[in-house]
């Protein structure tokens, strides 16, 4: 009888998920599959079919996370964080190098990039920490020590790889969570001033030569049109040539003739804009806006502070990915390796974003449940 009751509860949770949000996420992924099909000049291999397979795996993981009791995720938040931190350390010890960076480890024949899952782990750890913090202690400067360490430990390891894009996303995402948690604005001013003061140190001692070249290329891409400035110049040409309505599916000259580099990953928005024009670009932005608005609605209706903070963290992560990737493609910011969620090719990133939205769905499914601090 007890098993029957549990089965009924699981089925109820499954059907109580926000299917509108799931539909938009699935639509974005299918658009990504279509663009990867175009990137391979009308072939499902090597990218589109693998993207679909990872979509299926990610969808299953998302649903599993959504229907699992939110209190279980609260209880194991720190464990997940330290597990991902251990994987980052493992990358430094025995990770393999790809495209000039040591970011991957091989698990069961699958190349896994721990820095992608680290974003989710940081969100969970910060959400638990701030959930357990008493409202009267939120103004104390000492309470920032632990959450700052939660952020800086993985960011430091990720910068060593090097992976400036992911480190930037985690840092900015965490600052947003600090703000929503109720940290006084004066503390942000102090941290901002310290960050600005540290810029010369970061430039001279932490940034690699290729990262410095990206910044200089951003300031003047025409200085080296066939070298460091090639990617962004070709990206601008492709976006501009798409015009208002685009050249048509499979008809993009810059992408189909291989002038556009990394069209399946970092510059997939460029290829989409060339083939579907400004209308297509605005349509994708509108779909991301719908995802964010629906997620904000879930956060507003969630009873637990833990669930609210997770929703905001995942939303901020999504927004930063979309903004940085699109701004990079249009030459508004320096080129960094930040993929476009649901569209870009990349197994670790796609699985991480689906897992992240599994926690957003979890907040909706368990919106009326109280997360007791005693579980900590």
Query: What is the model's pLDDT at position 257?
Result: 72
Is residue 351 very low, low, confident or very high in pLDDT (cuts 50, 70, 90)?
very high
For 83-120, write each residue's pLDDT tens digit.
999 999 988 887 666 555 567 777 666 777 899 999 99
Average pLDDT (353-371) is 89
**pLDDT (0 to 100) of residue 99:** 55
Is the confidence at residue 2, as pLDDT, over 70? no
Treating both helix axes as pointing N-terminal to C-terminal, what angle do 305-329 and 268-301 enclose, rounded to 10 degrees?
160
Is 292:315 a contact under the CB 8 Å cutoff?
yes
Most confident of 71-80, 181-190, 332-341: 71-80
Per the model's pLDDT, the better-predicted residue between 65 and 96 turns out to be: 65
Closest-CA residue to 28 (of 355, 279, 339, 284):
284
**Nearest-angstrom CA–CA distance, 21 and 80:** 26
Burial code (b: 16+ CB inside 10 Å, e: under 16) for 160-196 equals ebbbbbbbbbbbebbbbbbebbebeeeeeeeeeeeee
CB-based contact 345:103 (threshold 8 Å): no
Record the pTM. 0.90
In terms of DSSP H, where are the helices of 161-267?
A: 164-181, 185-201, 209-219, 230-242, 253-256
pLDDT, tens only, 129-164 = 999 887 666 767 778 889 999 999 999 899 888 788
Q: How confident is the model at residue 254 (pLDDT cuts 50, 70, 90)?
A: confident
Q: Which two tokens stand for residue 348?
A: 């670790």
More confident: 254 or 49: 49
Burial class (CB in 10 A: 0-12, 13-18, 19+), 235: buried
Task: State what percent of residues in the chain have pLDDT above 90.
Answer: 50
pLDDT score, position 297: 94
pLDDT for 207-250, tens place per residue? 767 667 767 766 666 666 666 678 888 888 899 989 999 999 98
- Write the CA distances from 327 to 115, 232, 241, integer angstroms: 22, 11, 17
Q: Is the model's pLDDT at 12 over the cut of 90?
A: no
> Which residues contact residue 151 at a Cβ distance below 8 angstroms, ignoring those fewer than 6 apart?
122, 126, 170, 171, 174
Can you tell me the mean pLDDT for 30-44? 94
Here the contacts of 45-49 (C-beta below 8 Å, separation 24 or greater) are 47/264, 47/345
């Amino acid at each position: 009888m007890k098993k029957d009751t549990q089965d009924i509860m699981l089925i109820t949770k499954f059907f109580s998920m926000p299917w509108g949000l799931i539909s938009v996420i699935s639509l974005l992924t299918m658009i990504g599959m279509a663009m990867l099909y175009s990137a391979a000049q009308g072939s499902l291999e090597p990218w589109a079919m693998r993207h679909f397979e990872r979509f299926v795996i990610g969808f299953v993981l998302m649903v599993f996370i959504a229907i699992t009791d939110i209190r279980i995720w609260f209880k194991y938040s720190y464990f997940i964080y330290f597990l991902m931190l251990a994987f980052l350390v493992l990358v430094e010890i025995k990770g393999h190098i790809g495209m000039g960076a040591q970011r991957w480890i091989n698990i069961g024949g699958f190349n896994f990039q721990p820095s992608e899952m680290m974003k989710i782990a940081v969100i969970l750890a910060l959400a638990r920490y701030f959930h357990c913090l008493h409202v009267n202690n939120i103004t104390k400067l000492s309470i920032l020590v632990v959450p700052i360490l939660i952020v800086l430990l993985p960011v430091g390891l990720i910068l060593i790889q090097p992976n400036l894009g992911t480190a930037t996303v985690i840092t900015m995402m965490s600052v947003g969570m600090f703000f929503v948690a109720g940290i006084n604005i004066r503390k942000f001013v102090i941290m901002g001033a310290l960050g600005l003061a540290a810029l010369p140190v970061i430039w001279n001692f932490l940034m690699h030569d290729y990262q410095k070249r990206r910044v200089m290329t951003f300031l003047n891409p025409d200085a080296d049109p066939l070298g460091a400035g090639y990617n962004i110049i070709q990206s601008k040409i492709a976006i501009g040539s798409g015009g208002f309505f685009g050249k048509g599916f499979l008809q993009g000259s810059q992408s189909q003739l291989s002038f556009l580099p990394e069209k399946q990953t970092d510059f997939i928005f460029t290829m989409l804009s060339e083939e579907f024009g400004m209308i297509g670009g605005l349509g994708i932005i509108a779909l991301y806006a719908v995802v964010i608005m629906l997620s904000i609605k879930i956060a507003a209706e969630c009873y637990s502070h833990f669930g609210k903070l997770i929703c905001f963290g995942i939303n901020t992560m999504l927004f930063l990915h979309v903004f940085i990737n699109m701004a990079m493609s249009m030459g508004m910011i320096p080129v960094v390796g930040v993929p476009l969620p649901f569209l870009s090719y990349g197994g670790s990133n796609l699985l991480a974003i689906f897992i992240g939205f599994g926690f957003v769905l979890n907040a909706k499914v368990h919106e009326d449940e109280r997360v007791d601090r005693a579980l900590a």
